[in-house]
Structure 1
Amino acid sequence: MSEIEIIYKNKTPYHDRLKIDAPWVAYDVLHSTWDAGKIELLEQFKIMLLDHRCNCLGISEVGSGGMSGVIIDTKIVFATALQAKANRLILAHNHPSGVLEPSDADILMTRRMVKAGQILDLPVVDHLIVTPHGYYSFSENGHITGWEKGHRLQTPLP
Structure 2
Amino acid sequence: METKVNEIAISYSGSIKTKLLPKVSSSRDAANLLYKHWDKQNIELYESFKMLLLNNSNKVKGIYTLSKGGITGTLVDVRIVFAVVLKSVTTSIILAHNHPSGTLKPSQPDKMLTEKIKKAGKLFDIKILDHIILSPDGEYFSFADDGIL
TM-score under structure 2 length normalisation: 0.93
Q: Which amino acid aligns with 2:147?
A: G
User: In the alignment, what sits opposite 1:60?
Assistant: 64
Whole-angstrom distance in 2 between the partners of 1:94 and 1:128: 8
**SS of match in other structure, 1:91:** strand
CA shift for structure 1 position 42: 0.2
Q: Does the 8 Å contact 2:35/2:138 carry over to 1?
A: no
Q: Which has the higher contact order (CA 8 A, sep 6+)?
A: 2
Alignment of 1:39-54 (within 5 A): 39-54=43-58
Residue 126 of structure 2 corresponds to residue 115 of structure 1? no
Pick aligned residue for 2:142 from 113, 134, 137 = 137
User: In the alignment, what sits opposite 1:9?
Assistant: 13
Percent identity over the alignment is 37
Structure 2 stretches of 5 or more lacking a match?
none
Whole-angstrom distance in 1 between the partners of 2:38 and 2:10: 29
Whole-angstrom distance in 2 between the partners of 1:19 and 1:89: 13
| Superposed CA RMSD | 0.9
Whole-angstrom distance in 1 between the partners of 2:58 and 2:51: 13
User: In the alignment, what sits opposite 1:154?
Assistant: none
Pick aligned residue for 1:103 from 107, 128, 132 = 107
Whole-angstrom distance in 2 between the partners of 1:83 and 1:133: 30
Pick aligned residue for 1:125 from 121, 124, 129 = 129
Greater C-alpha radius of gyration: 2
User: In the alignment, what sits opposite 2:97?
Assistant: 93
Whole-angstrom distance in 1 between the partners of 2:26 and 2:100: 24
Whole-angstrom distance in 2 between the partners of 1:59 and 1:8: 13
Structure 1 stretches of 5 or more lacking a match?
145-158
Q: Which amino acid aligns with 1:137?
A: S
Aligned length: 144
1:76-121 Cα distance to aligned partner (Å, 9 max, x none): 1111111111110000000000000000110111110110111111
